[in-house]
Amino acid sequence: MTALATCATQLPIPVIETERLILRGPAPQDFDAIESFLADAERSQYIGGPVTDRDQVWRGFLSVIGHWMWRGYGMWTVAEKSSGATVGRVGIINHLQWDEPEIGWHVFDGFEGKGYAHEAALAARQYAADHFGLDAVISYIDPANTRSRALAERMGARVERERTEFYGTTVLVYRHPAVAKGGA
């Protein structure tokens, strides 16, 4: 575990601080929270869950690191400043079947309803626009995922279109407003 901890702290993942949160790269202590989230059928249903195979969760955990290395951006782990607890993940992803970079989020059990997803997603979206040149990004959201739809709309995103046959389902493609400083 020491080698992994050393490696994780050396990843070129920027750290973002908000009033209550720290957005940072993944660390070994996050694995259990992510494993619990993915194993929960209700909580992970909109991101391909449930996933109960520990090896598959591990590969997914490592893919977050690989995404940062390959694309230069990715998902941040969201930690509560006051406690250090891992509360979720947020960031920009662009996998093979994606049309373009997407901002996504998820909050772990016990941390929803506190505005953490909104706070983290706004910070991640702003950082991506200002530092990665990724502005007016999209979010793929299952029509039944009312909480994510509400968050996207609260952030100013609007439904642009439907995308069919996205991993066997139809999703709504929300377009976020341009937010880059300087009008990028």
User: Residue 70: which residues within 8 A CB-CB, separation 6 or more?
Assistant: none
CATH code of residue 33: 3.40.630.30
Predicted TM-score (pTM) of this structure: 0.89
The total number of structural domains in the chain stands at: 1
Output the tens digit of pLDDT for each of the chain's 184 residues.
334 444 444 568 999 999 999 999 999 999 999 888 777 767 756 666 676 788 888 888 899 999 999 999 999 999 999 999 999 999 999 999 999 999 999 999 899 999 999 999 999 999 999 999 999 999 999 999 999 999 999 999 999 999 998 888 899 999 999 999 965 4
CB 121 within 8 A of CB 131: no
What range defines the domain where residue 11 resides? 2-135
SS3 readout for the chain: CHHHHHHHHCCCCCCEECCCEEEECCCHHHHHHHHHHHHCHHHHHHHCCCCCCHHHHHHHHHHHHHHHHHHCCCEEEEEECCCCCEEEEEEEECCCCCCCCEEEEEECCCCCCCCHHHHHHHHHHHHHHHHCCCCCCEEEECCCCHHHHHHHHHCCCEEEEEEEEECCEEEEEEECCCCCCCCC
Residue 171 tokens read as: 């999703």
**Does residue 157 fall inside a structural domain?**
no
**Does residue 151 fall inside a structural domain?**
no
